[in-house]
Structure 1
Amino acid sequence: MKRLAVYCGSASPEDPRYLALAREVGTTLAQRGIGVVYGGGRLGLMGAVANGALEEGGEVIGVIPEALVNSEVANHNCTELLTVSGMHERKARFTDLSDGFVTIPGGVGTMDELWEAMSWAQLGYHQKPVGLLNAFGFFDHLVAFNAKMAEVGFVRPAHQGILIAEETLPTLLDAMASYEPHTPIFRMKAEDL
């Protein structure tokens, strides 16, 4: 994996563990020679991921919608800052530029990015690993919800391994590196659906 898209929040929670985690993610990816593709912001967890990677000499590509650049939240310290027209183009660029996706704590936008990466993998728009760093149990309920969808039958058996959830970054990166792509819906026969 040469580059990973990192999905995370632009907020700075009161609990300092979240910003420290984000910085650690950026630092670790840079130390492993993995470039960061992220939302291009300088605030919150986004800024911490970018700063961690940049301080270690890593590549950081920010992809930010024009409206947010104009709000003065863009991180102009990135290796490369790409300005796009909107959120749809932003997520498409994340997919084009990265070899996989890592989601760390965040809010609604972060969840949108995660679910789209999973949905696109399920359909066959990409065959890249989709990782979830479940630090501090932040995503316990989401992991349980994903399991519930599978249990009820809304996630086919062939797609139940798309989401790779781990509690530590090294374990997650190792699991992502050994990810075996599944059969996407686009290649399934009607009787398999």
Structure 2
Amino acid sequence: MAAICVFCASSNAIDRQWLDLAAQLGKALGPRGHTLVSGGGRVGMMGAVADGARAGGAHTLGVIPQSLVDLEVADTQADELIVTTDMGARKNLMIDRSDAFITLPGGLGTLDELFEVWTTATLDLHRKPIILLDPAGFYEGMWGWLAGLADTEFIRRPALAQVTTVSSIEAALDAVERGTRH
């Protein structure tokens, strides 16, 4: 049983396939005994993963900065909703309250969160599994670019091994449960 932080897009202008992926991941958490930790929003993939988690019987913890509460996008249905002063405090609390991280497709905010947990893992500040759930090749270009950075030693090869890339929800949850970091 793990508290799994899911990073994903919060935009409403998302293709249905990504909303469905988020909802399916959320729904898969409950039967496996996991808790969802999310960015505390009710829109886009973030809202879909939270709704899916509740539909699957998972406990949901949302962490949201006051500025987004003020925009009325907070997931007020969350079992626990924590309001922070800013985005930095939000990320720190999400990292602290999570046992593992799964990243779905997303934009700048999602990448920021992924790189934050990945960087802190490379500095050995935590040993929590980091999973990139990429069923449709969304991150292939980024991953190729990062591998090229390892070829030039801007990134150490062991850092690449700290992220497990999978193509299915089941594989993502299996990786979390195994506690793998490769």
- Structure 1 unaligned spans of 5+: 183-193
Q: Which residue of 2 aligns with 1:134?
A: 134
User: What SS does the corresponding residue of 1:136 show, helix, strand or coil?
Assistant: coil
Deviations 1:79-99 (A, max 9, x none): 100000111111111111110
User: What SS does the corresponding residue of 1:6 show, helix, strand or coil?
Assistant: strand
Q: How does 1:28-177 map to 2 (within 5 A)?
A: 28-177=28-177
Kindly provide the amino acid, as one letter, of the partner of residue 111 in structure 1.
Answer: L
Count of aligned pairs between the two proteins: 182
2-structure distance, mates of 1:20, 1:142: 23
1-structure distance, mates of 2:100, 2:14: 29
User: What SS does the corresponding residue of 1:135 show, helix, strand or coil?
Assistant: coil
2-structure distance, mates of 1:14, 1:162: 28
- Structure 2 unaligned spans of 5+: none
Aligned-pair CA distance for 1:155: 2.1
With over 3 angstroms needed to count, the CA separation of the structure-2 counterparts of 1:181 and 1:44, relative to structure 1, is closer
Deviations 1:11-46 (A, max 9, x none): 134521111001001001122111000000000000
1-structure distance, mates of 2:134, 2:105: 8
1-structure distance, mates of 2:36, 2:128: 15
Aligned identity (percent) is 39
TM-score, normalisation: structure 1: 0.89
Kindly provide the amino acid, as one letter, of the partner of residue 43 in structure 2.
Answer: L
Q: Tell me, yes or no, if the aligned pair for 2:68 and 2:74 is still in contact at 8 Å.
A: yes
Q: Which residue of 2 aligns with 1:190?
A: none
1-structure distance, mates of 2:46, 2:74: 10
1-structure distance, mates of 2:32, 2:178: 16
Structure having the higher Rg = 1
User: What SS does the corresponding residue of 2:89 show, helix, strand or coil?
Assistant: helix
